């Protein structure tokens, strides 16, 4: 029987007492946990110690690299074009990946977008795209490479071979109250993104009521930590801090978010979705040296739409097929004339989740037609009887709990009354 290099209890005590772990200790810890030598209860104690006491930049880098080393590492070096990717920390109505990937790919840059599924009130990119008949999320590494080479973009599920230590550790954090630890969030996200093999990465880090981290200071700390990790690993990395106090766009769900994304690709769509898509596209292209391109033109002249249709077909989807429509709807109307002065993101995200658009457990299915369509945004003048939002679900009994979730989340005030001020959509850029 092999002799272990360290005693996990000693490492736990070190972090408990505000000490620093060495590279060798972190390498061993992640490897020993992945292969089952370190027990869940021991790693739970370690993650809580990290949650309470933090980690140094070197420790976070070492943990990230150790999680990468637990699995395979992809490479797109053989592609005839540079690669750039985007990661969002998630929010309500955040469908930006859908129009963004084809928009960036128009400019001869490959976009390997490895995405996930939704959990709780935050939607998953794969769930949205699976609203499209025939579309396939699971691709082999070889299929991904071929699609990037031939079509310039791919949105697919991350394979189990990428940073398997992270998958095991994330599941543990989820049940031990340590999900919000910034060193663990940063190493979780960046281990997969670095292992993915992209040459450049833009991070969309949300703050506000519908975000994973509500406070902008905590979001800024996370963004800086992830940018540092990317740069340390040789990946050109930057971050935008973006506002999630109000839902993004007008659609919250799956199929309805695909419809809204197609509207953006057709040159229309809500102004906030267009603004953030264009800003992230510029940032992704700038990181690979393309700074003198007209991103907006590619949305309006049909090039981005053509690329979308091409990539959807390449993954077995039919871009012309009808998207799912819910069997039942319930519309909430304004009870008075006035101005919509408030619309909170989180309650509307929870409402869509309760309608069936999200899941409480990873194994739960989603209802692709379920969701909420907003008919007004803060600042809009409304009249009595005018639709404010519509709930969609296959089972009408879901409406009561969804309405309960959004109760008090919106308010109509008098003309001239101050409107909810969540600040600018893009608050800050972090990076070189």
CA dist 201 and 93 (Å) reads 22
- Indicate which residue of 173, 193, 206, 398 is catalytic: 173
For residue 87, indicate whether it is catalytic.
yes
Is residue 15 flagged as an active site residue? no
166 is catalytic: yes
Catalytic residue status for 432: no
- Are 264 and 250 a contacting pair, CB within 8 Å? no
Pairing status of strand 371-374 against strand 236-243: unpaired
**What's the CA gap between 34 and 222, in Å, rounded?**
25
Please list, residue by residue across 221-240, b when 16 or more beta carbons sit within 10 angstroms of its beta carbon and e when fewer do.
Answer: ebbbbbbbbbebbebbbbbb
**Active-site residue among 151, 192, 307, 398?**
192
Which one of 166, 204, 272, 373 is the catalytic residue?
Answer: 166
- CA 431, distance to chain mean position in Å, is 19
The span from the CA of 81 to the CA of 110, in Å, is: 6
Q: Evaluate whether 208 touches 345 at the Cβ level (below 8 Å).
A: yes
The CA-to-CA distance between both ends of the chain, in Å, stands at 49
The vertex-132 CA angle with 330 and 390, nearest 5°, equals: 15
CA separation, residue 377 to residues 61, 244, 251, 277 (Å): 41, 14, 11, 19
Give yes or no: 206 in active site.
no
> Among 188, 191, 219, 261, which one carries the catalytic annotation?
188
Active-site residues: which are they?
A: 87, 166, 173, 188, 192
């Amino acid at each position: 029987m092999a002799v272990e290099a360290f005693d996990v209890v000693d490492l736990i005590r070190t972090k408990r007492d505000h000490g620093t772990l060495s590279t060798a200790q972190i390498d061993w810890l992640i490897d020993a946990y992945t292969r089952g030598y370190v027990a869940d209860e021991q790693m739970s104690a370690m993650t809580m110690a990290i949650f309470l006491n933090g980690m140094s930049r070197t420790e976070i880098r070492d943990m990230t690299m150790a999680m990468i080393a637990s699995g395979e590492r992809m490479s797109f070096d053989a592609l005839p074009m540079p690669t750039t990717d985007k990661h969002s920390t998630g929010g309500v109505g955040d469908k930006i990946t859908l129009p963004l990937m084809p928009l960036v790919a128009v400019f001869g840059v490959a976009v390997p977008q490895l995405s996930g599924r939704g959990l709780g009130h935050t939607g998953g990119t794969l769930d949205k795209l699976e609203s499209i008949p025939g579309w396939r999320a699971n691709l082999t590494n070889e299929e991904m490479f071929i699609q990037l080479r031939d079509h310039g973009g791919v949105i697919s599920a991350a394979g189990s071979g990428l940073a398997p230590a992270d998958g095991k550790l994330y599941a543990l954090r989820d049940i031990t109250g340590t999900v919000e630890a910034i060193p663990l969030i940063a190493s979780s996200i960046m281990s997969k993104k670095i292992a993915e093999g992209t040459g450049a990465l833009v991070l969309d880090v949300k703050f506000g009521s519908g975000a994973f981290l509500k406070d902008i200071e905590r979001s800024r700390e996370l963004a800086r930590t992830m940018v540092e990790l990317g740069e340390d690993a040789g990946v050109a990395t930057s971050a935008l801090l973006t506002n999630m106090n109000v839902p993004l766009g007008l659609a919250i769900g799956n199929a309805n978010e695909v419809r809204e994304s197609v509207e953006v690709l057709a040159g229309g769509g809500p102004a906030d979705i267009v603004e953030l898509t264009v800003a992230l596209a510029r940032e992704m292209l700038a990181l690979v040296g393309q700074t003198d391109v007209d991103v907006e033109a590619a949305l309006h002249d049909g090039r981005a739409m053509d690329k979308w249709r091409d990539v959807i077909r390449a993954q077995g989807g039919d871009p012309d097929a009808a998207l799912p429509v819910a069997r039942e709807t319930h519309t909430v109307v304004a009870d008075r004339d006035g101005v919509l002065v408030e619309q909170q993101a989180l309650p509307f995200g929870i409402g869509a989740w309760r309608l069936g658009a999200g899941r409480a457990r990873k194994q739960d299915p989603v209802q692709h037609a379920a969701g909420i369509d907003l008919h007004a945004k803060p600042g809009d003048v409304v009249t009595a009887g005018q639709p404010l939002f519509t709930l969609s679900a296959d089972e009408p009994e879901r409406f009561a709990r969804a309405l309960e979730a959004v109760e008090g989340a919106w308010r109509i005030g008098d003309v001239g009354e101050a409107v909810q001020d969540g600040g600018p959509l893009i608050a800050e850029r972090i990076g070189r």
